[in-house]
Structure 1
Amino acid sequence: MTPLIYLSRQTANHWLVGQNSEKFAEWVTRFLAELNSLTASGNLPKLLLVEPDPIQFLARFLAACSVGCPTFLGNPGWGKAEWEQVLTLVQPHLIWGDTSIVPGWDSTKAEQNTLNTAAAEPQPNQGWIMIPTGGSSGKIRFAIHAWETLMAAVQGFQQHFQVDQVNSFCVLPLYHVSGLMQFLRSFTSGGKLVILPFKAVESGETSEIAPSEFFISLVPTQLQRLLSHSLLTDWLSQFRTVLLGGAPAWNELLQAARSQQIRLALTYGMTETAAQIAALKPEEFLANHHHCGKVLPHTQVTICDRLNHPLAANQIGKVIIQSRSLALGYYPKTDFDKVLQPDDMGFLDEQGGLHIIGRDSDKIITGGENVFPVEVEAAIRATGYVTDVAVVGVSDRHWGQVITAVYIPKHP
């Protein structure tokens, strides 16, 4: 179904909790008219969507998807250096939303030249949705998605968690895949959506909903902060599922969540896969399982050796992903060819559970042995003597590299 069909179905459902769903539909109609006036000649401008207001962001996003304009999602919090990098890469015809956020952007000149530029320059394909992702080098890239890849991710989520309507409580940014997919799961499944800044939740603003009917997505540091408040811990324990991802979670944090009966679902995914492609169900987490869970139905994960030969269960190797939700590539290239090999190393156990050990490029080779920093960090955290720790490899003539930990003691 198209975005506008979903919109017509959702508007009567009062799906935006704490917001006016009819007003949202009016915003979409207004933005559609704005885009249609720009595309009257048949050319589709490249849009860079920059909108700090979450409701207007979503309304503009749906309008852009409905018209088919190639759309890049922008982070309003980017600094000058990031914006320079993004503008050089994207070369948008139009920055849509709050143009004052983007340093040096001449909106008047750009809008006047939009149609001529669109006709003259090579164009991304109609319907492409570019979602930003930052590399470890600080380089910003855009994963090329389409409505179809995002819908495949939604359907895989529904099948895995055996739910028809997905109600989401979103505290993550909508320009990021983690926030965007929460919106899409609810919007296209007939579910409800709450959008609140995480700081508001921390201060006790939690919205009048039945948490037992909702999914909420968090990163480990957010979970840690909520668990430090007894009232918020009790509130969090009422959720149907607390999806946890974005970074490795340490054992002490997971044990604290388990002791409070938080229904965690540890996840594995990335921008390139339209968020999670594996998830541990809450019942498994509470039964002391500690891995990324089984692979979602729309995805296939293979563990391979250095020669790309598949490995048996419990053997550590490279993670290779094939998925209907996989991006086409990093803009402007479309070279994923339906297969993605991230930098991750891991294994599948005999029950099909996915275990991520660490990043291949992060591993330390000491005395001929491979050591993954995340495992050493977890062991040090488990002592309870540190508040934070980072493990690196330092060059050594005898061992090649020696394992070195930099830590903050809990009691200096």
Structure 2
Amino acid sequence: MGQTLKTLLQTRWGDGWLIGLSSEEFWQRLGELISVFAAYKESCGAHSPGVLIIEPDPLLFLATCLSAWSEGCTVVLANPRWGDRDRQQLQALVSPNLNAPLRPGIKSYPCQVRESQPGQILIPTGGSSGQIKFAVHTWDTLSVAIAGFRAHFGVGAVQAYCVLPLFHVSGLMQALRVLTSGGQLALQSYSKLKNRERWLLPPGGFLSLVPTQLQDLLALGDEFIPWLQSFRAVLLGGAPAGKSLLDQAQSLGIPVALTYGMTETAAQVATLLPEEFLAGNRSSGRPLPHVNLAILNDQGQPQRSGQTGRVVIQTKSLALGYTDCSSDQGYNEKVAHVIGTAHPTGFTADDMGYLDAGGYLHIVGRSSSKIITGGENVFPEAIEAVLLATGWVSDACVVGLPCDRWGQRLCALVVMDSAKRLADLPGLLRSLLAPYKLPKQWILVSALPRTAQGKLSRPQALALAQKILGMDSI
């Protein structure tokens, strides 16, 4: 697939490709760390060396990730904000030695990834059970997605303004698009952007946001509007965007590009062009050049234009498989086969949607209980398990309330021991769950709705929450 990562780094060595960070320091760190990971790999002999990266500093993250990956290590990316329960799962998955960083002062650690091959990169994503799992990608799978992005927008050098976390596929792919194409990358925390600190990016750049962030920036006043208008595209994905937000963006001439994709597909597989959005189109756009999309019914038969079914994706950017806890050895061969490009039908997503007569994708919902809030995938079962484990709660159900700001807002309905206070429950969870997994709404109930078989009825629980909160008409 063209240049290897190692060759690419040699080609761009010394370039001032970073804005907001020191490119000089990046290349210096990269040179030092390449030696570190080369020696580490040699010490592992025949085994593929695993490297877990939990580094919050973006410059150190990029230098560590790219150096380890280019030297043939298996790179595992983790969220520095994961809570205790998440880290316990991480320990079970890849057995990191958190007491022996591979370089003092940098949060990278030796770990073990069973059945891995040299040069794989494991990107975290949520599992259907709420367990942490990693999509297994390679330089080749991500390169296919980069080429498709550039062709879809008709751009040579990609200029990107990144405020999303680099351990997410949405942040990592921005950096890789820039690096491979000869562009520049502005890296900044979203909190600093909200405080009106902005870097100057070359014209025709791309900004990636989740709907909550776009809503915040538009609310900060007129000074952000010309800045947002200056981009080639403001890529908007990760959660459903409310109609009022999209209408406001259109009226202001913000070049929004609604996107659909996931970790398993190396980010975007369908994207609406900004000119189509400004003309009133509200779909997720057409498939990118490297992607074929199909809509299948429950029997696996193709649906006609306008008919809803499961979204099925065929592309060479698909992950090879998952590393998760669904098998004794961590790497789930069955899932790997289903995701792998050799599968006859492709990857069946959790999403329900349809293709219109023009070939535009419309997402209408999800077949599972997954909730997307502020661009983060949340599985209610995982939060409910933590609630029950506290001993304060005898029954719990987490639902996603419709919300223009977050896409969905987490709401927990709980049955509690009368000796405990509902107001104390959120504080109890803060050390156990990542902040985005903490419910924003709490409701105390005497009982939760269940089916005749005794199973929790999520639709009825959602209706109950909306009724209690006076949201019946939503």
TM-score normalized by the length of structure 1: 0.83
Q: What amino acid is aligned across from residue 358 of structure 1 in structure 2? A: G
SS of aligned partner of 1:276: strand
What corresponds to 2:206 in structure 1? Answer: 215
Residues 92/264 of structure 1: CA separation in 2 closer, same or farther (3 Å cut): same
Number of equivalent positions: 376
1:74 aligned to 74, 78, 89, which one?
78
Offset of residue 18 of structure 1: 2.9
TM-score normalized by the length of structure 2: 0.73
Give the distance between the partners of 2:167 and 2:147, measured in 1 at CA.
21
Give the distance between the partners of 1:259 and 1:20, measured in 2 at CA.
38
1:298 aligned to 274, 286, 290, which one?
290
What corresponds to 1:384 in structure 2? Answer: none
What corresponds to 2:11 in structure 1? Answer: 9
Give the distance between the partners of 2:356 and 2:229, measured in 1 at CA.
29
Q: Is the 8 A contact 2:55 2:106 kept in 1?
A: no
1:291-315 CA-to-partner distances (Å, cap 9, x unmatched) read: 1000011111110111101111111
What corresponds to 1:343 in structure 2? Answer: 350
Q: Is the 8 A contact 1:50 1:96 kept in 2?
A: no
2:31 aligned to 29, 32, 57, which one?
29
Q: What amino acid is aligned across from residue 214 of structure 2 in structure 1? A: L
**What is the correspondence of 1:8-407 to structure 2 with a 5 Å cutoff?**
8-41=10-43, 42-43=45-46, 44-92=48-96, 96=102, 122-135=114-127, 137-210=129-202, 212-230=203-221, 231-331=223-323, 332-333=331-332, 334-335=336-337, 336-338=339-341, 339-362=346-369, 377=402, 404=463, 406=466
Offset of residue 127 of structure 1: 1.1
Offset of residue 201 of structure 1: 0.3
SS of aligned partner of 1:92: coil
- The more displaced of 11-20 and 191-200 is 11-20
Identity of aligned residues (%): 42
SS of aligned partner of 1:22: helix
RMSD: 3.0
Offset of residue 225 of structure 1: 0.4
Give the distance between the partners of 2:269 and 2:449, measured in 1 at CA.
34
Offset of residue 145 of structure 1: 0.3
Structure with more relative contact order (C-alpha pairs < 8 Å, separation 6 or more): 2
Give the distance between the partners of 1:146 and 1:77, measured in 2 at CA.
25
Give the distance between the partners of 1:302 and 1:226, measured in 2 at CA.
35
Contiguous gaps of at least 5 residues in structure 2: 324-330, 371-398, 414-447
Q: Is the 8 A contact 2:126 2:132 kept in 1?
A: yes
Residues 46/289 of structure 1: CA separation in 2 closer, same or farther (3 Å cut): same
Give the distance between the partners of 1:186 and 1:176, measured in 2 at CA.
16
Offset of residue 10 of structure 1: 2.6
1:43-71 CA-to-partner distances (Å, cap 9, x unmatched) read: 43211112111111111111111111111
1:343-378 CA-to-partner distances (Å, cap 9, x unmatched) read: 111000111100001012359xxxxxxxxx99x958
What corresponds to 1:370 in structure 2? Answer: none
Give the distance between the partners of 1:232 and 1:21, measured in 2 at CA.
27
Offset of residue 140 of structure 1: 0.9
Give the distance between the partners of 1:130 and 1:408, measured in 2 at CA.
43
SS of aligned partner of 1:40: helix
Residues 317/203 of structure 1: CA separation in 2 closer, same or farther (3 Å cut): same
Give the distance between the partners of 2:235 and 2:312, measured in 1 at CA.
23
Residues 67/263 of structure 1: CA separation in 2 closer, same or farther (3 Å cut): same
Offset of residue 238 of structure 1: 1.6
